[in-house]
Amino acid sequence: MRATLFVGALVCLFVQAAALSDEGAPKPAVDKKEIEQLPGLYKVAGRGGDVGNVYCVLTPEPVLIDCGSRVGWDQLVGNLKLLGFSPGDVRWVIATHGHWDHMDAMALFQKDFPSVKFAIHAGDAQFVIHDDRVFSCAEPLYKGVESAPVKVDRILLDNDTVTVGNTDFHIVHTPGHTPGSIVVVAQIAGKKIAFCGDSIAGYYSLLNRSSTIDWQISLKKILALDLDWVYTGHGHDPVDSKDEIRAMVESQLDAVTSKRKLQESDEPYRGLESEMRKGR
């Protein structure tokens, strides 16, 4: 059931742009059991398209995988409080990529809690440092929401490891959705878990500098990781079986491959993409 729903959701995500919700800001949980995924792993923010999922790994200091947009700030702060922490206790935020819905809240951390460090892959770092509002989707998808430049404390490259306390966060570069998309892999409660951001289920756009060729290679790289659980950047549940993970990744591989065929048959489109790539 979950797998069927997931594949359906993937197809939607691929073709449909995320959007701002009109439901008001998301709220924190009442009980920490609501946000616990595994011992030491919590989902501390996330709501649909405008607040990407934020995962907190206790190392035992809190490390966040993504920090969402400012729309989810109160939810994030409230959930950290439930775990006994303030935002200033967060040691690192590791961004899966540089889109507004996944990392805009870093500007709020840096304003009031400057000890919190931010890491992002080299391929997306340039866009967040300069607050590129077209790349980040702040303009084209989220219609003029607030954003701000973000300072990068560590530039990540493929195969890097961020070690905090007793946990190693292994960085796998998976360009495609954006040039600097990554998958963060960690062993948590005996499981090999990957936080994938939009590397599997994201949408294709020239404004993201998406690349179907890179994406095909990245999806095959994710298949080879032999993961136990996968968390995507949007949606509720982990994908918690190897068969479901394979089905999800292969479904996106099919979608990306079709997109590539479309693109190859369209010369002006290819030309536009190559022009944009020169400006990278």
Measuring CA to CA, which residue among 116, 121, 128, 57 is closest to residue 92?
Answer: 116
Neighbours of 276 (CB within 10 A): 12
Looking at the Cβ atoms of 62 and 202, the one nearer to Zn ion is 202
Looking at the Cβ atoms of 104 and 198, the one nearer to Zn ion is 198
Q: Which helix (H) or strand (E) holds 109?
A: helix 106-112
| 72: its two tokens | 């989810």
Return all residues near 91 (Cβ < 8 A) that are at least 6 apart: 59, 61, 62, 63, 116, 117, 164
Looking at the Cβ atoms of 101 and 244, the one nearer to Zn ion is 101
Task: Check binding of 121 to Zn ion (CB under 5 A).
Answer: no
Q: Is-contact 94 184, C-beta < 8 A?
A: yes
Task: Check binding of 234 to Zn ion (CB under 5 A).
Answer: no
Write down the least CB distance from residue 196 to Zn ion, Å: 11
Q: What character string, x for contact with Zn ion (CB under 5 A) and - otherwise, covers 95-114?
A: ----x---------------
Go through 117-134 and write b for each residue having 16 or more CB atoms within 10 A of its CB, e for each that does not.
bbbbbebbbbbbeebbbe
Task: Check binding of 66 to Zn ion (CB under 5 A).
Answer: no
Stretch in the footprint of Zn ion (CB under 5 A) among 123-131, 182-190, 193-201, 272-280: 193-201
Q: What character string, x for contact with Zn ion (CB under 5 A) and - otherwise, covers 198-227?
A: x---x-------------------------
Q: Return d(Cα 196, Cα 193) in angstroms, integer.
A: 9
CA 32 to chain centre: 23
Looking at the Cβ atoms of 198 and 244, the one nearer to Zn ion is 198
Looking at the Cβ atoms of 101 and 228, the one nearer to Zn ion is 101
Stretch in the footprint of Zn ion (CB under 5 A) among 185-193, 194-202, 221-229, 258-266: 194-202
**Site residues (vs Zn ion, CB under 5 A):** 99, 198, 202
